[in-house]
Amino acid sequence: MSIGPEGAERIDWRSVLPAGFRWPDRIRAAACFTFDLDAESPILFDHPESAGWLDVMSHQAYGPRTAVPRLLRLLDRRGVRATFFVPGYTAKRWPAAVRAIRDAGHEIAHHGYLHEGARSAPDLATEEARLLRGFDALDRVAGVRPVGYRAPNWQLGYATPGLLAKHGFRYDSGLMDADHPYHLAVSGKPDAPTIVELPAHWSLDDWEPYNYLPGITGSGVIASPADVLARWTLELEALVDEGGLFMLTNHPFVSGRASRVAALETLIERAQAIDGLWIATAEEIAAWVAGLPLTPVVHVPPPLPERPW
Ligand SMILES: [Zn+2]
């Protein structure tokens, strides 16, 4: 039986954890600190002409040039292994930064080639070509074969999970319909193979509160790291109470600035002080979840009603 919008099974609303879900012994929740090493790639994809804009390119270069070393020092100080989602283009342009991340013992995962949103792909073959180009770049630069995927802009089509399974990915991180990891059926069929989904959310992404590039992205309101720390701490503590996964998505060019790293360090200290909170890489969490007896979640597109609406 599968969990889907057809309502195939009853909802057990008294249970906090999904049926079959548990964390390892003495663990009651998990936290995963992730960094999307976008650098220039998302701006170049949306605005190819920006390759000639030194001001904008320098804003993006802050990530690999200045922030990555600072973040690696922070993670080393706190003894935390993180997951870095790296577009293939970034790996080729900033190979030393990517190799430093690898050599520091962090997980490197797939994040497209030029940060291409799935909705920009005319067909599945294009999506697949981008995936392969990303694999090739990460292999050439860092000699890694990622097992995890985070879609650029978190854009996934209904056929994307099937492509991920075809190319050996064990998890995706970015769907937003759960607080706990789950088994994601890679097609709309209940007996389809599964990969692990590690859900995320915009509220735990640093782009929204911090990032501002005039005329390109952001509201122009740049939040104080104290405010961001407060909101992320609230979510962390609430998700621990729910036995869920705190999946934080940061971008080095955004969150690698000095006061933001200081706030992130405070957050990590608070997380490390929580009894029973497992801080791990996405790969480690996915490996645990893959072994659980979970009923797969099947995603099917909602049928549109007949017009007129
Ligand atoms: Zn990204």
154 CA → ligand 1 middle, Å: 8
pLDDT value for 5: 57
pLDDT value for 248: 98
**Is-contact 114 41, C-beta < 8 A?**
yes
116 CA → ligand 1 middle, Å: 9
Apex CA 114: angle with CA 124 and CA 177, to 5°?
60
17 CA → ligand 1 middle, Å: 30
What pLDDT digit, counting tens, does each position of 153-171 carry? 999 999 999 999 999 999 9
Average pLDDT over residues 54-75: 98
What pLDDT digit, counting tens, does each position of 40-54 carry? 999 999 999 999 999
**pLDDT over 70 (residue 113):** yes
pLDDT value for 245: 98
**pLDDT over 70 (residue 9):** no
Q: 276 in the Ramachandran plot: left (φ > 0), alpha (ψ -120 to 50) or beta?
A: left
What pLDDT digit, counting tens, does each position of 211-266 carry? 999 999 999 999 999 999 999 999 999 999 999 999 999 999 999 999 999 999 99
pLDDT value for 1: 43
34 CA → ligand 1 middle, Å: 11
37 CA → ligand 1 middle, Å: 7
Report the alpha-carbon distance of residue 66 to residue 288 in Å, rounded. 34
251 CA → ligand 1 middle, Å: 8
Report the alpha-carbon distance of residue 138 to residue 147 in Å, rounded. 12
6 CA → ligand 1 middle, Å: 33
276 CA → ligand 1 middle, Å: 30
Average pLDDT over residues 115-130: 95
**pLDDT over 60 (residue 283):** yes
What pLDDT digit, counting tens, does each position of 83-94 carry? 999 999 999 999
29 CA → ligand 1 middle, Å: 25
Report the alpha-carbon distance of residue 128 to residue 112 in Å, rounded. 10
